Structures are given as structure tokens and as C-alpha cells.
Structure 1
Amino acid sequence: MRIRRLRLSNFRSVADGEVIFPGHTVIIGGNSVGKSTMCEALDLLLGPDRLSRASPIDEHDFFERRYLDDDGDPIVIELEVVLTDLTADVLTKFRTHREYWNTTTNTLLDETATPEDVEADDVVPALRIRFEGAYDIEEDEFRAETYFASPPPDDETRRAKVTRPAKRQFGFIYLRALRTGSRALSLERGSLLDIILKLKDDDRSAMWEQTLGAMEDLDPAIDAIPQLRAILDEVDRRVRRFVGLSDDDRTFRLYPSALTRESLRRSITLFGSSERSNIPVPYWRLGSGVINSMVFSLLTFIADLKSNVIFAMEEPEIAIPPHTQRRIVQFLQREMDQSILTTHSPFVLEQYDPENVILLERGSGGKVAGRRIEVTGIKAKAYRGNLRRVLAEAMLGNGVLCVEGVSDGEAIYSASAILEEHSAEGTYTPLDLSGVTVVQCEGDGGLLRYGEFFSGLGLKTYAFYDRQKNEAISEEIVEVFDAAWELEQTGIEYLLADEITVDVIRTFLIEASDWDDYPYNAKNASLFEYDPDADDEAVQALCKRVLKSRKGAGYAQRLVELCTEADLPAIVVEALERISEDLPNELSAGEGDDDDDDDGDPEAPDDET
């Protein structure tokens, strides 16, 4: 099974939205753009237990909390999902609701489609499921239902509803961020343990009856504890003054639950022992990382038991180290029919090819759309190579600073650290706190290609580059980037040697002369030899030769680290201060980092799995 398209209307923070899913999908985008809203919409459409709740939706699920229009009529939440890659059982069981999806145009075939259209290679069978939620004025409550969109019913009362057993066949599982363990590891309905139980054993009634009976017949009973028994006997004596009670000498009893399935589900707690202790403790005492790893382990169990799984998860990186993040993503891509993840982690994002990355963007009036990342102009080898993680980090940030070489990046980062150290608090924001990644662009024309790519993602783009021989290219760079700084020199090494204070350069050369990798020329030993009596021009010339000889080996960085703010080249300071001004540290203003503030109470017990 596979989700192809999701449409949303009047749902939470989204007035109108559409996302096309390219198989395994990772969703990126800024905070409060609607990533969690998208996942919640899928859960309403496909989650087998969501609509069984007393109130599957409430006022906060409506866009701008408006569930009545200006005339007092109900506003309807409308959600729609298209499923393809249907299993043989699903195709047979729901054949009357079958439609057809064109995988090239990402559209449904309409009623005018011919047999030839349906049999095309890029056309596959599909099911379209709709959700509607609205306020019922007469009953003073919110109603919600899911139904098959095809064939269209004659009236609303004859809709073909999508039942819970049907949804289970679709295999949709959704885990929310941060609180995945609080119900995923319980026995409440819809939890991962409950899903496994359903897959493993169809006869669960006997299990519950035997367990409840054993709890009722506990020996010794809880109320046999002397301290409790004395209190209960006194309660019995006093109550009999006013009402008739059973002749049993133990009228009032204490049990560990209400002796119902639901109370038992809520009261059962998973215990576990850590490697440092053999004492079992409730799972939530084991730590967030352990909990999320346990959840991942349950997912592997489900994958072995279930023939098809569509798995959605928010931020799998929470409390999990990078290597485990990679393992989770690789497992999901390998074992699940389809995985849909939201993330802020470059370690998760780098596991996806660009065609599987969807950028969620918010327009005016609550409109949201997802678009596939385009890497036109960037070499596939560069994207899939060592640069991949840098690009992933940049795509998740606020901006990028494109440079031409390794030494440029080293010098820029070091200069940023110096400005942070010597600036008054709150006046300068370093690159990392601004959310800016320094990206080394390969080859001629690399600046332009990367600039166009990152600009297309809606990021702030900056360029710091060597003097160009072709003035037209320089003008084009200025047009592509939000701000660009062109050196008067043909390399960062020449800039540093020309503009850093000579006293700092002399200190650097004295220290560098003792380094194991300091350059040496066998034919001309004096070429890299530092002479304390040399004039300033000779010292600057030697610095240029040393930096060029050890380009990319950290020499430029170590030279800059010896500087104070006053020693730094003016163009470097100008660039960093401009970026700081454009992208100040938002956290200093007390702003949080929650993803979607429209998703209700993060601790709500009904919003766990």
C-alpha cells in the first residue's frame, strides 16, 4: 500500500493544502508550517482507532478555530487521501470503490477515461478516502466520519463508510514525536503492543476474562491488608446507619482496577531492567533514548507480522544518537511499504535521495503545499558524496554562505567565533545560532548552481568568493544571492596575508614553523623559512606561500584564531555582521522551537499513538 496524495481543507493551521508523496518520504520545513497537521490528517483518514474516540475532533481542529461561518452554518473539515499499490485482498474487497491514478501526472482519471487509458503502463488502481468533520448544531457536538469517495453517493446518508477493519487492512501506523513511548508501550487501544497482540492472536476475549478473574480472586486480597481492612470495616459500620447493605461481612472491597478490559488496558505498565540494574522499573524511568529504541524494536516486530505497513513518524531523531537515526531510517525504507517522516535532523535527511524529500511551504491565507526538492545543476556525485550531510544541514537551516574552498570555510567559521567572543552580548549572532551553514561549492560556476538551489528552498543565501576574471559572472552572482562579497584578491590566502595585522602573521609563522606538516622545499630551503628580521612585505609574501602550500590543511583557520576583532579583514567582518543582522538569534527573544503550535496539548493522553 502507498499514499499518493493528501488534500486538506479547514483543518487546524491549514485552510487549503496538498501534498504528493513520492514513495518513502521525508518532510522538511520551518516550525509551525504544518508537518504535524499533515500527519494528524493522515491519522484521521487511515488510523483504525481515531474515530472510535468520543470526540475525534474539537474546536481546535478547525482552521482559525472557526467551526461556524458568518451565517451560523457549520464549516466542514475536509480531508482526502489517495491510496495505490493495493494488495490483492484490498482490490477484491473494495473493487466497487476502485478508481485509477496516473503516476506520471499524479492525477486521478475522471469518468471520461477509456479502457485504453486505464490499461496504460503509468496508470494503477487506487482508492480515494475522504474525511468530513463538522459541528452538529442540533446535538451540540462534533461529528466525524470517513468514507469512500467513489462512487459518489446519491445523498450523505448513503455514503460507504470506511470501517475500522478496513483501515487495519491499509496498515497505517502513526507515532507522534516526543511522547511515542507513553502509549506505544502500553496496552491501550491503538498502541504498538495492542497492534502486535491483534496480529498474533485473534482470540483475545479469553485472555482478558482469565486475567480479570485472577485479579478478582487475588489471594490474599488487597483489602485483606490489616490497615485497609480496619478502615473498610469502620466505613461499613457507619454506612449501614443510613442504607441497607449486603449481609456479606466484606461489603466493601478493593481491587487493582475496575475489572473491565479498558481499565486493565490503562493500568498495565511495561517494566524493564537496564544494563546497570537488574531491578525492573516502569519503562518511562529507562530514559527517552531507551524508550524510542524500544518503540523501534516493536516496529521491527510489526514488520515481520504484517504484510503491508504505511508508517508515519514525527522526528525519529528525538533522544536517539545519529547512528541509531540512520538505522531506523534504513530499516523503515527496507521493511515498510511506505514510510513518511518529518525531521529536523541532517542524519535522517541525508538517508533520502532528493526526489524523496518534500519541502512543506506555507503561503498566504493558510495555504500549504509540499513540493519535491529539485537539485538541478548540482552534480549527483556531489549530492550523494561527502557533501551530502552538509547539504542536508543547510536544507534544514535558515541560510547558507557559499564559498569556493575549504580554507574559505575554515577562516569564516573562525572569524565568526572571534566576533562572538569579543562582541557585547546580544549584538552579534554567530553562524551556527543564525542557522547558517557554510557550503563549499565545487568548480567553476558552482556558486551560481548552489545559490539557485538554496534560493529555491526559500533560504537566505550569501556568497563569499574570489575575484572573478569574467565581470558578467560576478554580476550574475550578485543577482542570485541575497548578499555577495567579492574579494579584491584571487584567493582567501592572499586576503588574509594582505589584511591581517603583520604582528599576528609573525606570531603565526613562528608557531607554524614548529608544526610537523610545515611546508619545506628541498631545492630552496629558504623558500618557507621565517626570518624575524624580514620586512613586512617579505613576511606577508611568506605567509601567502605557506597558506597556499597548505591549502585546506587548517592553516588559514589557525591564523585567524590568533586575531582579535580589530585584526580581521574588513570584508570578512562586514559579511558576518550583515548575516547576523539578517538572521539574529531568535532564542534570545524567548521564542520556542515547537513544531506546530496548532496541534493541541502535547501531553494529551489521547494523542500518543
Structure 2
Amino acid sequence: MNSIFIQNFRNINDLKLKFSDFNVLVGENNIGKTNILMAIYKVLKMNESPYRVKFSEEDFYLDNNNNRAEKIIIELTFTELNENDEVAFVSDGIDIENGKLSIRLEADWDNENNDAKVEIFFLREDDVENQRGELFKLSNKKYIPFYYIDAYRDIWRETQHSQGELRQIFKDYNKNFLKPIEIQIKNSIKKLKDYIDNEPEEPSLTNVNRLLEKLKNNNTFSDSDLDILPEELEDVKENLFNINHKIVIQEKLNDLQEIISGLKGMNKIKESLEDNLSLFVPESNELDLEIGKLSESDLLDDTKIFIDNNPIFKQGSGFQNSFVIALKLSRLLSNIRYSEENITNLIIAIEEPEAHMHPHLQRSFISKIKAKQKEFLEDLGLNVQFIITTHSPFVLSQVDKSEICLIKKGGADQFYITHLDDQFIQDICEELSKNKIKHFDYLFRTFPEIFLSRGVIIVEGHSEYGAIPEMAKNMNDIDLDELGLAVIQSNGKGTLKSVYTIIKQFTNCVAIQDKDKDKDNDEQLVSDPNEPYYTTNEKDFEAEIVISVNNLSIVKRILMNIDDEDTSYVGLVNEYVPETRRMSVQEILDNWEQLNLQNLQDNIDKEKLIDTLQKHAKNALFWSLFCSEMTEDEIPECYKDTIINAKNMVI
């Protein structure tokens, strides 16, 4: 599937999205990711006739003025069709131009009947004025199978309910391997004859002919007769093996039924029923009770799953979630395996696979699903396209950036789609020197949450990275997480503008740099004074803090996090507060409020204090703890402005 176009479906008024082999859709809650998958599902749902597709009134887009759309359009386009695909569709009269195939769903709301009129048809590429081609039929769906694993995964339903995936897997098995023996023998004879006709020179033909004669004459055959069959007849071998064992199973079940029927008291039950039945139906025939009658298919109906001797229902939610996904993929494979069609393409959509998963499982999920994609192709010749939605930075950290599709909304419900593909990189390179693109890889691996955020605050180093979130909390309780704002560090001087330039390509962002920042070759990147790119008023972060915050508070915090190698501030306190000279550092801190610190405050060297913070407090934890105790008045104005502008940017 190359692309989808959606108009007026649920919260999507107009959207066009391109797909690759592996796609990860990212966006805020309720932006429309699920509805994109549901739109595909409406058109391609397996085993459902296109004539049965339904829409409710709520499925039609409602704008901000409460005007409801009257027409839904969902259009799917497929490219790179192989020979098998083209032959299948052309034989049905479908016109294919340049290896491209398009299917359109149109739903018109009928107020009079309170229902939607739905049509699904192929688009004609050769007639622009009349694009309505052949109707899309159920028989066409087998060539573009779509399988949707939604976010609601119920372990009980999928393993115990008659319509659950586990029962469906056994039903697929029943239909193919537990058919009446006569039918299975007949199918096997046909396949053996075809092999003999097509492979007249094969040295194994003697063995094949010998087995064929046994089957024709209804003679018994053993497993050893099957072991000598060539590899090309593996399906026949498997089928006949099951026939042999089916006979053995049925004999044992018959024996079991006889044993149960012969239990003491069974005849008395039968006689009692016959006697009471004769009161109402005097001429009734002899009653026959079939007690304990089972078929081999009955044995598959009551299946329990255990992991390490514990029922699946006793496992954790994360494991159950993973098991349901695995079960659904297994069902899909069984469906394909037993299909009579030559299926070569498959689309699988998985919604939020990370639900209830531990971060390690989330990270490993992507690598395993990609390995499965490769396995499908190499072992089954099956091209599988994955479309996954996620809110997990752990999932994003494991995908290739070119596989991410960012979905955002602007004014008037307009959608903005960003693919982090080669074109995206090329666009960045037009603004940045090529050696700067390495910063995108750093961001992608270190801060994957930026792709899930409504906006980003970019700072230079660890100190600001720890400080900004705590400063925000002390500003009328601004919660950056609630606003969807991420804070990231650019990892030093000379990279901030590059990082800012990259991030603003796909999301809102603000940045703040130190005033003493060295100029670099990309200085001209942010030349517009109206851009949210700020500079400290003092030379750097530490200088801003020393100017804004009571210096005694800073000294106290330094003592609380003192380095054994740095005793200068203990000496300073001892010098100007004589009563502390016999105290340990902890005793000084315990008595801090009772000490006379005026002389100390008058003699604090601000430049030395800045230097100490730069050398011994360059870490996020120190500044996170420090700023958590700041008042709003102590927060430097440049950081207040940055936070307020970031807030206004996303609300």
C-alpha cells in the first residue's frame, strides 16, 4: 500500500499519508492514528463483503461549527504490483495502469433513512472525467489481505471464546487436516498423480507409485511409507500422517466410549428414562444413549494454555498483551498457510503494541517484529507491510528514523505530516552544513520523546536540563509534562543552533543559549529576531543563578553536595563564622538557621562562586534539587521568558 487519502472520516477532515514497508505512526492522543487504521480496515477487512460495510452518523466529520459532513471518502493506492497481482486483477476486468491500483470508498449520509449509502470501487486511471471503475468485491480482498490488531487485547476472549483467535486457529486446522478421511485420501491421490506426471524422471517415482497404489486400493500404509516421499510432497506426507493417526485416535475414543457406557448404573439410567418416557409415548422405540461420544475435533475445543506450569490467566498483563499479539499473528499465518490462494502480499496493522510491556520488552519488540518480517519473506515468499502506532519512546528508539511518520494538527483541523526520510534529511542539509546532520542521529537515539511531544525546550547542557522542569513547577505550577513539552540538551556549545534548526522542521520548539557561547559556522541560521531563540542576560547559566538567588542559599547547597576534594567553602564558612570551626559539615548544615551568617554573606566572592558551580555542580541532579526549592522571584528572567513562550506555543 503506497498511500491513503481520507476525507471527512471521524476526526479527519482531509489527510493524505504515504507508506513504506515498515511504518510507525506517531502523534498526540486523539489526533487520528487509530482512525487511519480504521479507515483501512473499513475498506480491506478480511472475509467481510464490501456490501456489509456500515457507517454511523458519528463517523462523519463534525467541524468546529457543529456542521456534519455528508460524504466520506477513503482511497487506498497500491504500487509495485507483482505479476501474480496483475494477473489476478486483470482477470477480473480491473484496469491497471503503470503497476498502480487504486480503491475508493464513498459513503453518503442519507438523513431520510438515517443510514449511509456505501460504495467501494476501483478507480480508473485512464479516464479522468469518469474514474468510477469496477466494484470492489469480496473475492478481490484475498489478493490484498489486511490484518488489524487493535489496542484492546482480551486474553480470555482470544483463548476461550468460540470466536477467539485460538479456536479459529484450530478451526483452520480442522478444515484442512480433519476433513473426512475419504476426501483427504482423494486429495492426496490427486497430488501424487500430478507429481508423477510432472516429474517423470525422478528416481523416487517407484516409492510414490507404490504409495499411490495402496491409496487407490484402500490398503493400509505406515509412517515408513511416508518417510521416503520427496520433499516436494511434504504437504501430502503431513496429510497422510494425520490420517493414520486420526484413525488411531478415533479407535481409542470408541474404546473410551464403550468403557464409559459399560459403567455400573448406566443401564439403570437408561431403563428409568425408557420407563418414564413410556408414560407419555407408549409406543416409543428403544432409547439409545451415546455416552462419552467424542470426535477428534472435540479434543481441540477445550484448550488450556500454561506458561511454566501456570495458566496464562495468572501471567502479568504485559505478558498477556504480548501473547495476544503472538496469537493473532499465528492465526494470520494459519489462515495464509491453509489458503488455497497464492498469497504474496500482506498488510499488518498493530495499534500500541507497547501496552503493559516493560521497557526492555518494548525495545525488543521492534527488532523481533522486523526479524519476523524478514522470515515471512525468506521462508514463505510473503511481502509483509507493517503499520504500527505508538506512544512509546522505547519503541521509537529501536526503529529507523526513516520509518517514522509524525502526525500533527494545526488550525482548522489541518493535518501536517512529516516523514523522517531521505527527503527530510536533504531539506535539513539545505540549511545546515553536512557535518551537522550527525546531531539528528544523536537526538533520535537520545531523546526519542521529542517525536511524541507537542513542543520542545532546547538547552545547552546538563545544568539547564535538570533546572528547567523544576523552575516551571515554581511558576504558577506549570507542568511541562501536562503541556506535552519535552526538555532536551544539545550537549554543549556549538551545537544548539543545529539542534534547533533540525527540531523546528517537525515540531514547535524554543531554545536558550549562554551569552558567552562561541560563534560557529551556523551563526546565521537563526537570524530572525522574532524566532523563539533566546540568550541569557549574564554570561552563562551559573552566572544567572548567582545574580538571581541569595548567595547563602547557594553556599548551603554546595555544602550539601560537597566534594571531598573541594573544602574551600568549608574554610570560607569557618573563616567568617567562627563558631563553625569545630563543627563537621553536617553539623554546620543542621545549625544553619541559627548561625549568624551576615559576615559570610558580605564576603562571598560572586565570581568564585560562579567558578565553583561551573566546576563542581555541572550535573542535572544537583540543579534539579536546587531549583525545586527556588521561589518564582528567584528564577532568572531569561528562563522565565523561555518557559512562558514554550507554554504559549503549545496551548
Is 1:326 the equivalent of 2:363? yes
SS at 1:335 equivalent: helix
Instruction: Name the SS for the 1:99 alignment partner.
Output: coil
CA contact (8 A) 2:121 2:135 kept: yes
2:627 corresponds to 1:568: no
Distance change (3 Å), C-alpha of 1:163 and 1:465: same
Between the aligned residues of both structures, percent identity stands at: 20
Counterparts of residues 168-247 of structure 1 (less than 5 Å): 168-179=142-153, 181=155, 184-185=158-159, 191=165, 194=168, 198=172, 202=176
Note if contact 2:49-2:138 (Cα within 8 Å) is conserved in structure 1.
no
Q: Distance in 1 between matches of 2:492 and 2:350?
A: 38
1:480 corresponds to: 531
Partner Cα separation in structure 2 for residue 200 and residue 326 of structure 1? 37
- 1:272 aligned to which of 305, 309, 324: 305
Alignment of 1:497-536 (within 5 A): 497-513=546-562, 515-516=563-564, 518=565, 530-533=572-575, 535-536=600-601
Q: 1:509 to 1:328 in 2, by over 3 A?
A: closer
Give the counterpart of 2:441 among 377, 381, 384: 384
Unaligned runs of 5+ in 2: 182-245, 338-342, 374-383, 577-599
Structure with higher Rg: it is: 2
1:128 corresponds in structure 2 to 102
Partner of 1:543: 609
- SS of the residue 2:75 aligns to: strand
Distance 1:475 1:55 in 2: 56
Contact 2:536/2:638, CA 8 A, preserved across alignment: no
User: For each residue in 1:446-502, what CA deviation from the matched residue of structure 2 results, as whole angstroms up to 9, or x when unmatched?
Assistant: 44444444444343x332321267999798475222xx5532222212222332212
The answer to whether 1:489 aligns with 2:463 is: no
- Work out the CA distance in 2 between the residues paired with 1:573 and 1:138: 59
Q: Which has the higher contact order (CA 8 A, sep 6+)?
A: 1
Offset at residue 503 of structure 1 (A): 1.5
**AA in 2 matched with 1:326:** R
| 1:465 aligned residue (489, 509, 513) | 513
Question: Any gaps of 5 or more consecutive residues in structure 1?
Answer: 101-117, 119-124, 521-525, 587-609
Q: Which residue of 2 aligns with 1:56?
A: 53
Q: Tell me, what secondary structure is at the counterpart of 2:575?
A: coil
| Alignment check: 8 A CA contact 1:180 1:295 kept | yes
Residue type at the aligned position of 1:58 = F
Task: Tell me, in whole angstroms, the C-alpha distance in 2 between the residues paired with 1:245 and 1:13.
Answer: 69
User: Partners of 1:359 and 1:195 in 2: how far apart?
Assistant: 36
- 8 Å CA contact 1:510, 1:530 repeated in 2: no
Alignment of 1:334-345 (within 5 A): 334-336=371-373, 337-345=384-392
Match for residue 353 of structure 2? 316
- Answer yes or no: is the 8 Å Cα contact 2:510–2:646 preserved in 1: no
Please state if 1:298 is matched with 2:327: yes
In 1, the alpha carbon distance for the partners of 2:35 and 2:615 equals: 54
CA contact (8 A) 1:28 1:359 kept: yes
Match of 2:41 in 1: 43
- Equivalent position SS for 2:100: strand
CA displacement, residues 74-106 of structure 1 (integer Å, 9 cap, x when unaligned): 955332212234344323322453635xxxxxx
Number of matched residues?
515
Amino acid in the other structure paired with 1:273? F
Question: Do the aligned residues in 1 keep the contact of 2:465 with 2:620 (CA within 8 Å)?
Answer: no
TM-score (norm 2): 0.63
Q: 1:454 to 1:555 in 2, by over 3 A?
A: closer
Q: Deviations over 1:557-595 (max 9, x none)?
A: 2672584426833327724762696489x9xxxxxxxxx
**CA distance in 2: counterparts of 1:414 and 1:47, whole angstroms:** 49
Counterpart CA distance in 1 for 2:417 and 2:544 is 43
Deviation by residue 1:89-125 (Cα, 9 ceiling, x = unmatched): 323322453635xxxxxxxxxxxxxxxxx5xxxxxx2
- Distance in 2 of aligned mates of 1:152 and 1:145: 20
Answering whether residue 9 of structure 2 is matched by residue 11 of structure 1, we say: yes
Q: Determine the C-alpha separation between the residues in 2 that align with 1:158 and 1:248.
A: 63
Structure 2 partner of 1:114? none
CA distance 1:447–1:188, shift in 2 (3 Å) = farther
Measured in 2, the distance between the counterparts of 1:474 and 1:325 equals: 37
| 1:238-284 CA distance string (max 9 Å, x none) | xx99xx99968999x999xxx9x9xx9xx967633354xx45x5x55
1:431 aligns with 2:431: no
- Offset at residue 176 of structure 1 (A): 0.7
Deviations along 1:509-544, one digit per CA (max 9) or x if unpaired, are 33333x35x559xxxxx6996454365454433332
The amino acid that maps onto 1:394 is: I
Output the amino acid matched with 1:322.
P
User: What is the identity, as a one-letter code, of the residue corresponding to 1:465?
Assistant: Q
SS in 2 for 1:429: coil
Quote the residue 1:162 is aligned against. Answer: 137
Counterparts in 2 of 1:68-147, with a 5 A limit?
75-95=70-90, 97=94, 99-100=96-97, 125-134=99-108, 144=118, 146-147=120-121
- Which one has a larger percent helix, Structure 1 or Structure 2? 2
2:169, 2:87 → 1: CA distance?
24
Give TM-score, length-normalised by structure 1: 0.67
Q: 1:401 aligns with which of 443, 457, 478?
A: 457
Q: Following the alignment from structure 2 to structure 1, what is the Cα–Cα distance between the partners of residues 370 and 471? A: 41
* Counterpart Cα distance in 1 of 2:39 and 2:130: 24
2:19 maps to amino acid:
F
Determine the C-alpha separation between the residues in 2 that align with 1:273 and 1:402.
49
Separation (CA, whole Å) in 2 of partners of 1:186 and 1:143:
36
3-state SS, counterpart of residue 479 of structure 1: coil
Distance 1:138 1:274, change over 3 A: same
Match for residue 360 of structure 1 among 392, 399, 407:
407
Q: Residues 157 and 186 of structure 1: is their aligned pair in 2 closer, same or farther, counting only changes over 3 Å?
A: farther
Question: Once superposed, what is the RMSD of the aligned Cα atoms?
Answer: 5.4
Verify the 8 A CA contact 2:454 2:485 in the aligned structure 1. Answer: yes
User: Which residue is 1:148 aligned to?
Assistant: 122
Q: CA contact under 8 A between 2:124 and 2:131: conserved in structure 1?
A: no
